[in-house]
Amino acid sequence: MQFRLVRHFTLTSLAFIIAAGAALGLYYREIALSRMLQQQESNNVNLTRVFANTLWQRHFSELLKDSALRTSTELKLLSQIPEIHRDVQALMRGSSTYKIKVYDLRGRTIYSSELAQIGEDKRNNPGFLGALEGLTRTELVHKEKFSAFEQVVENRDLIQSYIPQYEEGSSELAGVFEIYSDATPFLAEIRETEIRLATLIAGAMGALFSALYFIVHRADRIIRQQADEKKLSQQQLAQAEKMASLGQLVAGVSHQLNTPIAFSHNNILLAIAALKELAQPLALASHVAQLATKLPAGHDRLELELGAFRHSIPTMTIATEEVLQEIGHMLGDIQGGLEQMRELVDNLRNFTHLDRSKVVRTDINETLKTVIYIARSSIPSGIRIVEQWGDIPAIACNPSQLNQVFLNLITNAAQAIAEQGEIRIRTALSGNQVVIEVSDDGTGIPDHVLPHIFETYFTTKPKGEGTGLGLAIAQDIVRNHGGNISVTPGAGQGARFTVTLPVNAPDTVRGC
């Protein structure tokens, strides 16, 4: 399967850039909001001190004492509330503070710049409870509508702080201040900064992406070029290995051809000599035939002038019969030799599949039989081949390429057997896979060699006798067919190679 580097890089990079940009944006927003909350909390605390210094002893301290014995309804009617309200308004005028509240230790609102809220119970409010513990609690809230100094403001972001207030000169908690300050301008500034930061990040990431895209695109082009060169090199190596394999068979095939050719040639020479012995009888018979054609109608007697034929007549009868028998035997032998040569040519044609398309439905059993016939020419006579054919369907494959695989496995098995032994070839169907096993009882494969058996150029043969390409190319061919090839040591000795092939060829083999 081809790995599309540029597409994967583009998708991965864009996803990373978006994720990184979003993470940086969120990180900046969290930092900015945290700093803003800290700053606004500090401002609210300082403002609380201002209120405390200005109004606490003058108003709120006495108000806390008076409120202790009054109901929530009575709190709103206290006579000092209007005066406190005027002083609070004077202090808040021109500031970003929208509202202040003062709670007693029971959580009742003893004062609020929103007068209608005086007397409300906030004893369960988390911010109030935190302030009771001596902690300042601040949070950012958004209000669609908000009452501030008897007016309503809309769509505002507010900083809400609960600040503990102590008695002057004492660590005893007296009450709790709640202050609302406007954070809308600060958030708008943060959003503007976010936009500028996002633009800057997008520009930097875009420039980085463009530079990397150019590099990756060029690298992808080089990789694809190298892959094409590697594929071409593998094809050339495969062809070279195939020619080397065929070269090993030339001697055996030539012997198989030379034997019938030799005795056919000899028989032809003998037949020619025998035909010369029939020259005189044939000449005499031809002379008699010519005279017979010249006889007048009604004449059945023929007078012969034997002349030169007289001395050879006594031997003609015996020689002619023997010569004809010899010629018949010789022609029969010639015919047998021609049949052997025709069978060899047919098997060679089937082995190379020169007259077939690249991918066809092929009977693997018949293909293996052809490979075995060809391989026998180079296998010593002491090696026996045992065939076990399973009931398997025809598969879509490139027969010529698979012939190269099978020939390599059978030849290797024969080379692993010293003098006498057995090569077992078995086929079977397993699910939608055809299984081919080639095993031998030879010397086997050492444990340290087994992991490297399919590596290119790896060979255990002496220098000059092996290229180390056979099994590597066989593995490439089988994988290209969507199959797998593996090797396991035999029981006690030898080795077993197992090839599995899908019934239907993948697109990779159809394009080869």
3 state SS of 498: strand
Cα 327 from Cα 319, distance rounded (Å): 12
**CB contact set of 342 (below 8 Å; sequence gap of 6+):** none
What is the arithmetic mean of pLDDT over 55-70? 79
DSSP string, 203-253: HHHHHHHHHHHHHHHHHHHHHHHHHHHHHHHHHHHHHHHHHHHHHHHHHHH
255/358: higher pLDDT:
358
328/259: higher pLDDT:
328
**C-alpha torsion angle, residues 170, 171, 176, 182 (rounded to 10):** 90
- Per-residue pLDDT for 387 more than 90? yes
pLDDT of the residue at 151: 67
* Local confidence band at 32 (pLDDT 50, 70, 90 cut-offs): confident
What is the arithmetic mean of pLDDT over 357-380? 83
User: What digits encode the pLDDT tens for the residues 399-415?
Assistant: 888 888 898 899 888 88
Side-chain half-sphere exposure of 156, counting CA atoms within 13 A: 18
**What are 108's two structure tokens?**
């009742």
CB 324 within 8 A of CB 275: no
**What are 477's two structure tokens?**
């061919």
**What are 278's two structure tokens?**
């029939």
401 phi and psi angles, rounded to 5 deg: -70, -40
234/43: higher pLDDT:
43
**CB contact set of 166 (below 8 Å; sequence gap of 6+):** 172, 173, 174
Percentage of the chain modeled with pLDDT above 90: 9
What is the CB neighbour count within 10 angstroms for residue 462? Answer: 7
pLDDT of the residue at 497: 92
pLDDT of the residue at 393: 93
What is the arithmetic mean of pLDDT over 16-40? 82
Cα 234 from Cα 42, distance rounded (Å): 75
DSSP string, 49-103: HHHIIIIIIIIIHHHHHHHTTS-HHHHTT-TTHHHHHHHHHHHHTTSSEEEEEEE
User: What digits encode the pLDDT tens for the residues 295-309?
Assistant: 776 666 766 666 655
Cα 122 from Cα 107, distance rounded (Å): 5
pLDDT of the residue at 354: 45
Q: Which of the given ranges, 197-206, 251-260, 319-328, 423-432, has the highest pLDDT on average?
A: 423-432
Side-chain half-sphere exposure of 459, counting CA atoms within 13 A: 14
